[in-house]
């Protein structure tokens, strides 16, 4: 996959691009990332990319011309034009389903804004307006790094053992079961006996149950959408209502 990034802060990217699995994906030529400085498409000697908002108001807005010219040029550099993604707090919220969809693309163009946002006309360049969560950041660079990270680990051949990408949280719609490694007892805390039993069927059942309980407790919103058997659904509903009952008890009396 090729990813192009447009930003006025290209220096923010190398640490994320060089480290860990993203770095490995690039070393293995499974991922090719080009970071471009939007100021290269500015029209004046100060390399201006922002301007005052018509109608007044606080802050500045990203000018349309450098964005249009940059996206046009970057798109024309390869035969597949690629999906153009603008980061904005008003965009569709990223989740694992959308991440899997993006990971199947051959090319992505990620456009990072700053200031109070984009001139509305520039947004017509976007195939997708994307948010990484309901909070406000100072710009689209961190969201772009999140998309690069989330997509990199889904590219076949990046993870090594292909199973782990699908086995983990959110792919079954459930949170991950608790994990342990050596030592078997640490500061008095024991590894659950079942994990030392060598009984793989029992371990699988225990993990599934733990996942369901944990998800019901911490993220009842995810349980509603998860793929569960009828028995599992009943167990999850029981756990959710048990936790709700506790929450409604209020603080214990003295």
- Residues in touch with ligand JB8 (CB under 6 A): 87-89, 113-115, 117, 131-132, 136-137, 139-140, 143
Backbone dihedral angles phi then psi of residue 91, each to the nearest 5 degrees = -75, 175
Identity of the residue, 12 or 203, whose beta carbon is nearer to ligand JB8 in the bound complex: 12
Side-chain-side CA neighbours of 196 within 13 Å: the count stands at 9
The reply to whether omega before 127 is within 30° of 0 (cis) is: no
Report, in Å, the least distance between residue 138 CB and ligand JB8. Answer: 6
Q: What's the min distance (Å) between Cβ of 166 and ligand JB8?
A: 27
CA angle, 102 then 106 then 107, to 5°: 80
* 3-class secondary-structure state, position 80: coil
Q: Closer CB to ligand JB8, residue 134 or residue 254?
A: 134
State in angstroms the smallest separation of the CB of 222 from ligand JB8.
22
Please give the structure tokens belonging to residue 145.
């790094």
Which residues, 6 or more positions from 65, have their beta carbon under 8 angstroms from its beta carbon?
41, 43
Minimum CB separation of residue 142 from ligand JB8 in Å reads 8
Please name the helix (run of DSSP H) or strand (run of DSSP E) that holds residue 54, with its range, or none.
Answer: none
CB of 131 to ligand JB8, least distance (A): 5
CB-nearer residue toward ligand JB8: 16 or 228: 16
* Residue-wise burial string across 46-58, b where 16 or more C-beta atoms lie within 10 A, e elsewhere: eeebbeeeeeeee
Return the number of the residue (103 or 132) whose C-beta is nearest ligand JB8: 132
Please say which residue, 90 or 196, places its beta carbon nearer to ligand JB8.
90
């Amino acid at each position: 996959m090729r990813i192009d990034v447009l930003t006025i802060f290209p220096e923010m990217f190398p640490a994320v691009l060089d480290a860990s699995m993203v770095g490995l994906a690039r070393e293995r030529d499974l991922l090719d990332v080009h970071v471009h400085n939007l100021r290269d498409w500015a029209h004046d000697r100060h390399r201006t990319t922002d301007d005052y908002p018509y109608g007044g108001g606080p802050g500045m807005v990203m000018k349309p011309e450098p964005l249009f010219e940059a996206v046009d040029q970057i798109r024309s550099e390869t035969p597949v034009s690629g999906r153009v993604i603008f980061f904005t707090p008003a965009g569709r919220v990223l989740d694992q389903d959308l991440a899997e969809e993006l990971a199947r693309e051959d090319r992505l163009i990620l456009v990072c804004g700053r200031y109070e946002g984009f001139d509305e006309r520039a947004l017509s360049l976007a195939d997708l307006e994307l948010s990484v969560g309901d909070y406000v950041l100072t710009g689209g660079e961190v969201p772009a790094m999140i998309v690069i990270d989330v997509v990199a680990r889904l590219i076949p051949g990046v993870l090594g053992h292909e199973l782990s990408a699908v086995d983990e949280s959110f792919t079954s719609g459930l949170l991950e079961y608790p994990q342990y490694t050596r030592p078997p007892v640490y500061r008095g805390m024991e590894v659950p006996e079942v994990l030392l039993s060598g009984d793989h069927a029992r371990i699988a059942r225990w993990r599934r149950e733990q996942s369901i309980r944990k998800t019901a407790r911490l993220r009842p919103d995810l349980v509603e959408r998860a793929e569960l058997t009828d028995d599992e659904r009943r167990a999850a509903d029981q756990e959710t209502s048990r936790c709700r009952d506790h929450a409604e008890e209020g603080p214990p009396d003295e």
